[in-house]
Amino acid sequence: MAAAEFPEDDPASEAAQVLHRVFGYDSFRGQQQEIIDTVVAGGDALVLMPTGGGKSLCYQIPALVRSGVGVVISPLIALMQDQVDALTALGVRAGFLNSTQDFDQRREVERAFLSGELDLLYLAPERLRVEATTRLLDQGKISLFAIDEAHCVSQWGHDFRPDYLMLSQLHERWPDVPRIALTATATEATHREIATRLNLTEAKHFVASFDRPNIQYRIVPKDNPQRQLLDLLRTEHAGDAGIVYCLSRNSVEKTATFLTQNGIEAVPYHAGLDSRTRAKNQSRFLREDGLVVVATIAFGMGIDKPDVRFVAHLDLPKSVEGYYQETGRAGRDGLPSTAWLAYGLQDVVQQRKMIDTSEGDAAHRRRLGTHLDAMLALCETVQCRRMQLLAYFGQTGEACGNCDTCLTPPESWDGTIPAQKLLSTVYRLQHERNQKFGAGQVIDILLGKPTEKVKQFRHDELTVFGIGTELKDTEWRGVIRQLLAQRLLTVEGDYGTLLLTDDSAEVLGRRREVMMRREPERVGRSSRSSSASKKKTAVADLAPEAVEVFERLRNWRAATAKEQGVPAYVIFHDATLRQIATELPGTLAELGTISGVGENKLAKYGEGVLEALVA
């Protein structure tokens, strides 16, 4: 695919031709065309666009239209081969340079770059520290620099990569080469930091809506989270590919084993596994249908798998940015998907403790605390989750009607008196007895339970003993969780002992009301939720007569992908197969009108598709 194939007098027309001929799409989405036009004309761009919004096209098309090779800075070398395979399937000449290659492989890619036989070259940011790499780039003709996952430059962000700080040098060394930085996750502060650190303050900035309407956001109180997860997968996502995030390596291993023992094929992924096992499990996830990967946050960046139907969190993420980035790996193909999080009191205690013991100065810990506060606000909101998410990124929206708080609205209740009772109990322990205890002991005192521990410390003699019998144990845990979220309580030490904060006095002194969220009764899935789920599924479901055809096409795709050693989505996305199954093209010309069927794929796979349709 060489740029010379297209006339150079109308770059906008060239871009549209490339979109249709190479990628098989008839029109650009959202701001894609304006971004592409900016870069094709030689301008710099900073692009904030949600996962699945078509960011890759924003640098791939300009690289094909402009003269030279597009150099893409990508953070994960483990995924470069799949990115190159996907482009090769489209007829794009792509290559990569990284530490997984031997000398001869690198030499061949370098030769192709210097001789103008590449359209796109992928590099990891650390590769630019190697003088041989910069000398190589000096000798070739570069059409643009694309900096993917640009939020990695944010030093206090969730995915900071020190090597990204060097990328500001690109403009200094190659001042005439346009740059485009892209990310799916950035608050207004992170946006400014990216622009400053990458020397893109003068670039044209494009900020798309962060809304992902195909994702249903759901946050549930923890109650045996592994079993809750198993129920979710069995009832709503049987046979679906998905990602389960856990905070610790141990939890990853246990959860993967639990799912496998219960008939759900799952593999672990964390930094404690050897590199070969990690690579194998990642490759299986990308290439196999219906596999679940259980992982720490070490997994997922740059994953292009379009048919991830769910992302589940068994532990509270540290920030809304991290949560949005991770949940954004679901539903890249635009089809209905689920973002599910189980969240409990221990999560809050653990996160607060991690912040208190983290490295860095007080300002750093305050920043981490602010991130956690925003995450807790999202968990405890009685408003639409989607509106809360968008507000965090400085955007507005209307109630979505598709998240848990829209489908089954929780009540807001006046928890001032329970808050006073609980804070008073902590006060009396701390100031009358000079003692500190965790949530369990405080709740036993409030409920008037004469446990051995209560008797040992004579807590049954406290005036607050038994004053909280109007709430159940689980409800008191919810009160503590929300007081921690509102910073009316804090935790200390390895045992999570509860302490008052400066703001506690306002509640105890009756100068502040405390409104709380009451979880809806959980009696299975409510009729509202079930009907909404059916409606949501019906949008994506095929007509009955097309289901068999779709499955036949999936089987053909799986066999073809296995034969070629590439992920199935490199052949065709599910959305393309669904359209083929619905429209039943009978000729190559008719197949060529299907979205996602470009010229190269039509020539390469067209006959196979038509044969599968009549099989």
| Predicted confidence (pLDDT) per residue in 502-539, tens digit | 999 999 999 999 999 887 665 444 333 443 343 334 33
Indicate if the pLDDT at residue 204 is higher than 70: yes
Residue 95 sits at φ, ψ, to 5 deg, of: -150, 175
Percent of the chain with pLDDT over 90: 66
Burial classification of residue 283, based on how many CB atoms lie within 10 Å of its CB (0-12 exposed, 13-18 middle, 19 or more buried) = middle
CB 120 within 8 A of CB 69: yes
Average pLDDT of the segment spanning 192-204: 94
pLDDT, greater one: 398 or 70:
70
Residues in the chain: 615
17-41 in b/e form (b: 16+ CB < 10 A) is bbbebbbbbeebeebbbebbbbbbe
- Which single residue is written with the structure tokens 């990690």? 278
Q: Supply the pLDDT for residue 301.
A: 67
Q: What integer is the mean pLDDT of 422-451?
A: 94
pLDDT band at 302 (very low <50, low <70, confident <90, very high): low
Whether 253 and 165 map to the same domain: the answer is: no
Regarding whether 306 and 240 lie in a shared domain, the answer is yes
Contact 79, 300 (CB under 8 A): no
Residue 526 lies inside a defined structural domain of this protein? no
Residues ≥6 apart with Cβ < 8 Å to 263: none
Task: Band the pLDDT of 22: cuts 50, 70, 90.
Answer: very high
Is the pLDDT at 424 greater than 90? The verdict is yes
Query: How would residue 158 be classed by pLDDT, with cut points 50, 70 and 90?
Result: low
**Residue 54 within a domain:** yes
Mean pLDDT of 183-203: 90
Same structural domain, 399 and 436: no
pLDDT at 34 exceeding the cut of 90: yes
Burial 113-128 (b: 16+ CB within 10 A, else e): beebebbbbbbbbbbb
Rg (CA), the chain: 27
Rounded-to-integer distance, Cα 307 and Cα 1, Å: 28
Share the mean pLDDT of the chain: 89
**378-400 mean pLDDT:** 91
The reported pLDDT for the residue numbered 612 is 94
Taking 90 as the threshold, does the pLDDT of residue 443 lie above it? Answer: yes
Res 377 pLDDT > 70: yes
CATH number at residue 416: 1.10.10.10
- Is residue 202 domain-shared with residue 277, that is, in the same domain? no
Mean pLDDT of 186-207: 92
- Report yes or no on 509 lying in a domain: yes
Asked whether residue 532 is domain-assigned, the answer is no
Taking the C-alpha atoms of residue 8 and residue 422, their distance in angstroms, rounded to an integer, is 73
Residue 529 pLDDT: 41
**Whether 239 and 305 share a structural domain:** yes
Instruction: Give the pLDDT band of residue 240 (cuts 50, 70, 90).
Output: very high
CATH number, domain at 102? 3.40.50.300
Q: Are residues 39 and 173 in the same domain?
A: yes
Domain count, the chain: 4
By mean pLDDT, which of 288-302, 462-476, 584-598 is the weakest?
A: 288-302
Range of the domain at 336: 215-410
7 pLDDT tier (thresholds 50, 70, 90): very low
pLDDT at position 501 is: 92
As a whole number of angstroms, the distance between CA 448 and CA 459 comes to 9
Note whether 55 and 187 are same-domain residues: yes
Query: What pLDDT is stored for residue 188 in this prediction?
Result: 87
What would the pLDDT profile of 42-58 be if each residue is shown by its tens digit? 999 999 998 888 899 99
498 plus 549 within the same structural domain: no
pLDDT for 528: 36
Whether the predicted pLDDT of 417 surpasses 50: yes
Q: Residue 96: its pLDDT value, please?
A: 96
pLDDT digits (tens, 9 = 90+) for 557-568: 999 999 998 888
- Which residue, of 395, 410, 425, is where some domain finishes? 410
pLDDT confidence tier of residue 357, bands split at 50, 70 and 90: confident
One domain, residues 268 and 339: yes
Look at residue 592 and tell me if it is in a domain. Answer: yes
